[in-house]
Amino acid sequence: MPSNSIIRNIIGQISGIILVAILDSSSRSLILVISRCCVSGLGVLLLLFVAWRAYKIIKRWKKDMLKAIFFKRNGGLLLQQQMSSGDDGNVEKTKLFTSKELENATDHFNDNRILGQGGQGTVYKGMLTDGNIVAVKMSKIKDESEIEQFINEVVILSQINHRNVVKLHGFCLETEVPLLVYEFIPNGTLYDYIHDQNEYFPLTWEVRLRIATEIGFHSSAGTPIYHWDIKSTNRGVNEPGRARARARLVLAKVADFGTSRTHDVDQTHLTTKVQGTFGYLDPEYFQSSQFTEKSDVYSFGVVLVELLTGEKPIASFKVGETRSLATYFLSAMEENRLSEIIDPRVKIDGEEGGQIRRFGELAKRCLNLDGRKRPRMKQVGIELELIRTSNVAPVAAATEEVEYANSIEEVGGMGHIDHWH
C-alpha cells in the first residue's frame, strides 16, 4: 500500500494538471470573446463610417440639387440666355458668384453687416477674398413674377459702364433668393446727406448743383431706360474723404434698377402695375397705370426740389397738415415765394441767386402735371450742366467740359439712358 504522503502527492499533481487545463481553456475562451468583440466593434465602426459618408454624400447631393433648383427658379437659364445675346463686353465681365463666397464675404449675412433695407431687398456689406469691399443685395422675391424684375436689374446693369451708375460686379442664383454684388458706395445716399446734416460734408449750393448734374449725367450711359422709382435714397454719393469733400470731386451714383425697363426709341407708353414710391410717383402714372418716358422726369423733379428745399417728399409744412413736397413747391412757385422755401443751410450770394431761380424753373417744368409738357431727361441733364457752369470762370468751364466729354467716352458708344428705375 502506498503511503498517505504518496497518495497526497499524486492527488496534488492530478489537481494541478486539471487546474492548468481549466485555466488554459478559460484563456482560450477569453481570447476568443475578445477577438469576436474587436471584430464586431470594427464592423460597427465601419458601418458607422459608411453611414456617415453616405449621409455626407446624400447631403451634398441634396444641396447641389437644391442649388440647381434655385438656379433654375431664380431665372438662371433665362438670364444666361439674355446675357449671352448681349453684344456688350461688360456682360462677359459680370461674375457668377457661389453662395459660399458670398456667405464668407458677409459673415453668413450677419445683421451687423446690413447697410440698408427697402422694398427691393436687404443690402449687406461684404469683403471678397481679394480684399475688394462690395455691397451684396439680397433680393426680396415673394413670387415667380418678381423673378423677371431681378433678371431685368442684372441685364441692365451688366450692360452699363458709366461713372455715375453703380457698377455690378456679379450675382449669385444658387440661393433661395438671388443675390446681386455691387460696388460699395461708402458714404450713404443722397437722402442721408439732404436730411441728416453732416459737418464734414456740408451741402452747399455748389455741391447740391453738382450732385444734381452728376445724376443727370447718367442719362448718357446707354440704351434708353425707364428707372420707375427715382428717389434720393437710390442716389449714392461717393465722397472719398474730408480733404476731397469739395464740389468738383463729388460723384453721384445711380443705383437700384430693380424695376427698370429698357425701351425702344419708338415706344412711348408702357402699361403695368403701379410701382414706385409715394411722393416721387408721377400723378399721371398713378391714375392711369400708364408709364411714359416723362414719368421719370417727374420723379427726378422731386429730387431736385429736395436738393433745393431740404424737405422730404412727404412732409408736414404746417401743424396738422401733411402734403407732398411737389404740391408745396408748385404752390410756392406760383406765388413767387421761391426764396422763402430754400433750405436755410444754403447761403446765397448774388450769382448763385440766378442759378437757383433757373434751377427752380427747371424743377417746375419737370413737375408739370401734363407729362407732354415736361422736358426729356437728356434735356434736363444738359440744362443742369449749363446752369452749373454759368458762374464758372472760362478756363474752369472749359476744363469741366473736357471732363464731361471724357465721361461720355467712358460709356463706349452705348448711346444714352433717358430714364431710371
Considering the chain, what percentage of its residues have pLDDT values greater than 70?
55
CA distance 234 to 211: 13
What mean pLDDT is reported for the chain? 70
Of 369 and 85, the structure prediction assigns the larger pLDDT to 369
CA distance 88 to 86: 6
**pTM across the whole model:** 0.60
Helix or strand (DSSP H, E) at 115:
strand 114-118
In three-state form (DSSP H/G/I as H, E/B as E, the rest C), the secondary structure along 34-81 is HHHHHHHHHHHHHHHHHHHHHHHHHHHHHHHHHHHHHHHHCCHHHHHH
When mean pLDDT is compared over 29-43, 119-133, 223-237, 319-333, the highest value belongs to: 119-133
Give residue 419's pLDDT. 34
For 128-267, strand residue ranges (E) read: 133-139, 168-172, 179-183, 225-226, 235-238, 251-254, 261-262
Give residue 237's pLDDT. 47
Considering the chain, what percentage of its residues have pLDDT values greater than 90?
13
Give residue 85's pLDDT. 62
Q: Are 168 and 180 in contact (CB under 8 A)?
A: yes
- For the ranges 120-129, 164-173, 258-267, the lowest mean pLDDT is seen at 258-267
Q: Is the pLDDT of residue 56 over 80?
A: yes
Q: What is the mean pLDDT of residues 44-53?
A: 85
The C-alpha angle with vertex 231 and arms to 226 and 234, in degrees rounded to 5, equals 85
Give residue 71's pLDDT. 82
Q: Which domains does the chain have, with CATH numbers?
A: 79-182 (3.30.200.20), 187-410 (1.10.510.10)
Of 238 and 218, the structure prediction assigns the larger pLDDT to 218
Q: Is the pLDDT of residue 278 over 60?
A: yes
Give residue 366's pLDDT. 92
CA distance 186 to 95: 22
Of 83 and 134, the structure prediction assigns the larger pLDDT to 134
Q: How confident is the model at residue 45 (pLDDT cuts 50, 70, 90)?
A: confident
Residues that are catalytic = 229
Q: Is the pLDDT of residue 334 over 90?
A: yes
β-bridge mates for residue 236, sequence order: 189, 253
Q: What is the mean pLDDT of residues 84-107?
A: 76
CA distance 326 to 42: 80
Give residue 282's pLDDT. 78
Give per-residue pLDDT as tens, 363-379: 999 999 898 899 988 89
Of 405 and 242, the structure prediction assigns the larger pLDDT to 405
Q: Is the pLDDT of residue 261 over 50?
A: no
- For the ranges 6-20, 151-165, 347-361, 386-400, the lowest mean pLDDT is seen at 6-20
Q: What is the mean pLDDT of residues 197-208?
A: 76
Give residue 91's pLDDT. 52
